[in-house]
Chains A and B, each alone.
Chain A
């Protein structure tokens, strides 16, 4: 796909018959009406390809979290179909839901860390839950904590960490299983701008390892700077779905190093064009697969 092509999709696309073979996530005419009668999502159609970094934006109550909850299979759709990695979510039995969720990493605005466990144990938890061996846990947890810049905070409890550090822990927990898909619902909602950039850098690096990343946010400032695909919602409807002209989908333009990315986010002039510094995240893939 040409990087210069601007993608514009009509607000309500008719349901496509053929599944897109490249899509990790496909929403086809998905609606969600809550039992209270509130409309969470209305006839939403979009597809997200493997390796994409996508923002979901919109005012409060526009349905961003609804999309996340539907993807997590916390709620069922009331119309349409959601296909994740070729699997129709409505066909996953209740008993199989935990196994499905192990393919997703999730980051929340309120971190959702366990208060009486150390940083290390919080991250190890995601591995214990899936029945990983102690050996595997000993190998992976310090690794991911080093990559997320928490190597010195291993034995701290969440209340001994700053907000940014706590969110790093939750990103580490989401990523420690190396899921193909990472969902982040307002991951920077409680953080100051500089800390937010750190978290976005982290998500960016994770995305570069091949993980598809979906971020819901109302930080339009950051979205504008990051120049990734944006899906905008308004009262449950998709009103905009476009990839940025300059950088295109999947970072189709030039790949940014983490520091260039940070500079871009801060609105500073980009540092000297240089050979991309080595980012330890880039090796994660080979090491863990």
Chain B
């Protein structure tokens, strides 16, 4: 209809209520800063956890004196009688020795002989199913002790405990982020809503007159809506700018030195910026809408 008129009205109102407007803007800024830091963090930890999860293996070490028929038997058992197996890789003593001594030649030169057993590396179809494979290859007896399913197996080893720890940490980070973000979003909605309420209150005469001279509901609402969304968007833009500065000043130089920071996959910065701006508009629109619904009976 008259976007110029509405925007002018909205700016006029922001100037008239500078303190609540500033509070709403600041709260939006903090919310988005936290979001902007947490989203890449959660992505990075989730990515790291997934990498660890993806590497989860079950090592089946054979007895040192296992014969080739033992090995064939165990392989058949893993292939045919064990659930949730995605992949089995056989690493013979010789191959293992080559791999390890290539990685650490001095230590292996000292050892002289090959201490490594033949090994099956079992990859589960899902990291969570690693327990099932373990139970199949080393079931618990009635007393609760593990007993190996085949006597030529020396040991079955997994890294589930470690994975569990990583997953717990990731989950914690995620939940912390969800709770913190929810609280901050709530605070932002309420502060924007409060600003609009004050603005409505200070302009109630105007609203009354508008109604009397025949303004439609949306003609009355638009300036308030724009006011709220403008506050949110300004907070959003400032947050994005601060994050950009932080990224260029802190993260980028670090990631050149540290492979660790660059390694996990996070979304590109412009996508994050767009997401944050979108969120700021949505949150502030929700705040304005809340007040308009409650306090503007048109």
Residue positions of A touching B, CB distance < 8 A: 72, 95, 98-102, 104, 106, 112, 114-116, 125-126, 128-131, 173, 177
User: In the assembled complex, which residues on chain B have CB atoms less than 8 Å from the CB atom of A131?
Assistant: 1-2, 219
For the complex, give the distance between the alpha carbons of A128 and B210 in Å.
10
Say whether, besides A128-B2, A128-B5, A131-B2, A173 and B213 are in contact (CB < 8 Å).
yes
Partner of B212, one of A95, A106, A116, A130: A106
User: In the assembled complex, which residues on chain B have CB atoms less than 8 Å from the CB atom of A102?
Assistant: 213-214
Residue positions of B touching A, CB distance < 8 A: 1-2, 5, 16, 205-206, 208-217, 219
Contact A126 B213 (CB under 8 A): yes
User: In the assembled complex, which residues on chain A have CB atoms less than 8 Å from the CB atom of B209?
Assistant: 112, 114, 125
Contact B205 A114 (CB under 8 A): yes
Report the nearest A residue to B210, measured CB to CB. Answer: A129
User: In the assembled complex, which residues on chain A have CB atoms less than 8 Å from the CB atom of B210?
Assistant: 125, 129
Q: Label chain B's interface by main secondary structure.
A: helix
For the complex, give the distance between the alpha carbons of A21 and B206 in Å.
37
Say whether, besides A128-B5, A131-B1, A98 and B208 are in contact (CB < 8 Å).
no
Contact A129 B208 (CB under 8 A): no
Contact A112 B214 (CB under 8 A): no
Contact A114 B212 (CB under 8 A): no
User: Within the complex, what minimum Cβ distance (angstroms) separates A206 from chain B?
Assistant: 16
User: In the assembled complex, which residues on chain A have CB atoms less than 8 Å from the CB atom of B214?
Assistant: 98-102, 104, 129-130
User: Within the complex, what minimum Cβ distance (angstroms) separates B41 from chain A?
Assistant: 47
For the complex, give the distance between the alpha carbons of A259 and B205 in Å.
36
Contact B213 A125 (CB under 8 A): yes
User: In the assembled complex, which residues on chain A have CB atoms less than 8 Å from the CB atom of B1?
Assistant: 131
For the complex, give the distance between the alpha carbons of A131 and B209 in Å.
15
Contact A101 B205 (CB under 8 A): no
User: In the assembled complex, which residues on chain B have CB atoms less than 8 Å from the CB atom of A125?
Assistant: 209-210, 213
Given contacts A100-B214, A125-B213, 6 further A-B contacts (CB under 8 A): A98-B217, A98-B219, A114-B205, A114-B206, A129-B215, A177-B213
User: Within the complex, what minimum Cβ distance (angstroms) separates A120 from chain B?
Assistant: 15
User: Within the complex, what minimum Cβ distance (angstroms) separates A88 from chain B?
Assistant: 19
Contact A129 B219 (CB under 8 A): yes
User: In the assembled complex, which residues on chain B have CB atoms less than 8 Å from the CB atom of A128?
Assistant: 2, 5
User: In the assembled complex, which residues on chain A have CB atoms less than 8 Å from the CB atom of B2?
Assistant: 128, 131
For the complex, give the distance between the alpha carbons of A125 and B211 in Å.
12
Contact A101 B206 (CB under 8 A): no
In the A-B complex, the 6 residue pairs with the closest CB atoms:
A102-B214, A101-B214, A129-B215, A126-B213, A98-B216, A98-B214
Contact A112 B5 (CB under 8 A): no
For the complex, give the distance between the alpha carbons of A130 and B209 in Å.
13
User: In the assembled complex, which residues on chain B have CB atoms less than 8 Å from the CB atom of A115?
Assistant: 205
For the complex, give the distance between the alpha carbons of A125 and B12 in Å.
15
